Amino acid sequence: MAIPGNLLTTAMAVMPHKNIQQALDAALSLDVPFWPQLPNYSYYEDMYVQAAEHFPGIVLDMDQQTLRFSMDKFITEFEETMSHFEDPEYFDISTQYSVVYHDFLAKNLQDRPAIRGQLEGPVSFGFNILDQDDRPILFDDTIRPFMFEFMAKRINVQLARLKERNPKAFMFIDEPGLQFIFSAMSGYGEQKAKEDLDAFFASVDGPRGIHLCGNPDWDFLLNLDMDILSMDVYTNGEIFAACAGSIKKFLDRGGVLVWGIVPTGFEFFEKESLGFLAMQLEGIWKHLGKKGIDIEQIIAQSMISPATCCLVNPDKSLTVDKAFALVKHLSLMLREKYKVD
């Protein structure tokens, strides 16, 4: 299995820290570390801004902290972008757009069971970035195919860079927007999304998968051609567990599940305990066991993580740091209980 399971720990990348070293220390405290995205440190470190680097037509206003798209600017810049299409450095994340990424790459990461990177996915990027008419660029039949190709290129370049630091590197494609495509009001239907994402994953190097904190159509996601799925089961566990058939198919073809179970929001975190979170997670596993999924397989192909990212806690980064520590304690407790080496 290319991606480790056995209840090892990782987390999603968006973190509230303003201190780079403290954020890196937290990320490196987990079994499978990653480079943090720190929008409170700099707007350049915002996940959408990072994904937008070198995308033609982007209008970035650092003073107002806004990210827009202009078709006129796209037409002007498109030829320049295409002239760099075979230049990996052009599609990597520059030091201007992430100091943290380059600091992470400078670390000795060879001894880790794996390391992880991430980039905002094309569906979420396309929903979030509005053009000159306040219309999401995902709906533009001219821009959308190029956007999927552009993001695949960026993901592949980053993964290759990470594999130089650890051969078992893999990528999260962050797709919070996927929960919206199943609404009749989205303007981008499930069938079109399936076509686009199938073509997208066919052009993205592995190992790779999707991370999101929302509640999409889980059957849809689990049947995409990906290696790992990271989700918030603290909030959505019961709904996710109802998709036992698709979960079994995903695991049977070698997929890894990242169970986001430890809340990072201040109010939710303060009322939880290690024992209750373990009981909640094991309750989902037992339900899946009754549906024919062997618990040994679940454990072998699972990781543990916080439930969501959180940027708005009154104690800034303190609760997030506590959540990371609790994730580690939960992993150790469950690994001991299930006799995982």
pLDDT over 90 (residue 2)? no
CB of 10 closer than 8 Å to CB of 30: yes
pLDDT for position 223: 95
Q: What's residue 184's pLDDT? A: 56
Does 205 have pLDDT greater than 60?
yes
- Domains of the chain from N-terminus onward: 8-337 (3.20.20)
DSSP assignment of 127-195 equals HH-B-TTS-BGGG-TTHHHHHHHHHHHHHHHHHHHHHHH-TT-EEEEE-GGGGGTTSTTSSS-HHHHHH
Residue 186 pLDDT: 57
- pLDDT band at residue 183 under the 50/70/90 scheme: low
> For residue 17, which amino acid is it?
H
pLDDT at 192 over 90: no
pTM of the model: 0.96
Q: Summarize the confidence of residues 256-285 as an average pLDDT.
A: 98
The three-class DSSP label of residue 305 is strand
pLDDT digits (tens, 9 = 90+) for 52-64: 999 999 999 999 9
93 band by pLDDT with thresholds 50, 70 and 90: very high
Predicted local distance difference test score (pLDDT) of residue 1: 54
Q: Are 39 and 309 in contact (CB under 8 A)?
A: no
Averaged pLDDT for residues 203-223? 95
Between 237 and 194, name the one with better pLDDT: 237
pLDDT band at 329 (very low <50, low <70, confident <90, very high): very high
Query: Across residues 197-224, what is the average pLDDT?
Result: 95
Residue 189: pLDDT band with limits 50, 70, 90: confident
Average pLDDT over residues 167-193: 83
Take residue 324 and report the two structure tokens written for it.
Answer: 């990371």
pLDDT cut 90: percent of the chain above it: 94
Above 80 in pLDDT, residue 293? yes
Asked whether the predicted pLDDT for residue 69 surpasses 60, the reply is yes
The answer on pLDDT for 44 being more than 80 is yes
Say if residue 195's pLDDT is above 70. Answer: yes
Burial call 105-129: b when 16+ CB within 10 Å, e when fewer:
beeebeebebbbbbbbbbbbbbbbb
